[in-house]
A and B are shown apart, each in its own frame.
Chain A
């Protein structure tokens, strides 16, 4: 696992758009420069002030991390729902105490793993959700050693946000190119009304633009361009 210094500090990430739509263009966006309104520390600060949209953005950014951990623990759906609920309910309570938003993803992962472990070792055991770990002092679970699960989740979040700030045409093309099951080039050509021969060069231009997105550029310059992927 490659250490990704840029990912360790969410505060250095810039411009996390609200992933309201899945690969759909975000109205009013499309430039390469994002405002700082949606960086993780800003989202945390806004949520602390009662901004529901900021909370929703935090949820959309980190729910895939919680879900992936639940899947890894092979929890069934009701148990995964319980874990998700207890993690988010705790986070709401702890929200006013957060002083270092950069530690948030690590806290979410650690809390999720603990809840998963609890269900796996003692299914359905009643208990009070005691707050053994104060979010105000959210320690890095393993300082020095990168938390692979958190790094992958953060990197995925940056990839998604980077795509969502691309022009609509690029988003559409990328969406079609990564569709599962795959969409034939002839169909992509028809849908986007571009020659099949232009798909490759257009993709290259879109990806070049993607790499210039500040948060992506930060990851790449931090060495994250060689990261492990499942």
Chain B
């Protein structure tokens, strides 16, 4: 580390070289992926916050010791709660209050899977979407809710 006097031409040049080197070091694909993330901005849905995850927090160690038990995750929005059981091959979900509709499982890149939500608010997504992914629930009541990202 050296003190840079920007009044000094040589030192300013060194700072410029460093600034452009820092930019050059970034792989183009790293930039492109970041730019592509903006497609999620246009989705018109309320964001549902993660309110419970059996895989993190105090429960995590206990739950993880039992390999067979599915991971339980809850997302909460103003008018809708989404409860998920993430198993090895599928996701079983339910929305509360129970109502029909459909749900899109959207990976960060690639095509989404759609599953119908039955009259008591239940749905099954199979196979597991590519990680990370998020769910977009469309209830027939008109409620449109998007979960935060889920990584498997």
Contact = CB atoms under 8 A, between A and B. Distances in A.
B108 A89 contact: yes
A77 B22 CA distance: 16
A15 interface: no
Given A67-B26, A92-B41, A128-B148, A85 B132 contact: yes
Interface residues of B, number: 51
A140 to B, nearest CB: 22
Given A85-B132, A128-B50, A68 B41 contact: no
Contact of A229 (B4, B49, B71): B4
A177 B13 contact: yes
A92 B16 contact: no
A47 B42 CA distance: 11
**Interface SS of chain A: helix, strand, loop or mixed?**
helix
Given A59-B35, A204-B9, A229 B15 contact: yes
Nearest to A148: B1
B22 A130 contact: no
Nearest to A70: B30
Q: What's the interface size class on A, roughly?
A: 35 or more
Interface in A37-55: 47, 50, 52, 55
Given A63-B31, A126-B152, A93 B50 contact: no
B1 to A, nearest CB: 5
B47 interface: yes
Interface string A17-35: 0010011000000000000
B42 A84 contact: no
Interface string A193-225: 000000000011001001100000001100011
A226 B6 CA distance: 7
A126, A131, A224 interface centre (most CB from chain B within 10 Å): A126
5 contacts: A55-B35, A55-B41, A85-B33, A220-B7, A225-B4
Interface of A: 19, 22-23, 47, 50, 52, 55-56, 59-60, 63-64, 67-68, 71, 77, 80-81, 84-86, 88-93, 95, 126-131, 153, 155-157, 159-160, 163, 174, 177-178, 180, 203-204, 207, 210-211, 219-220, 224-230
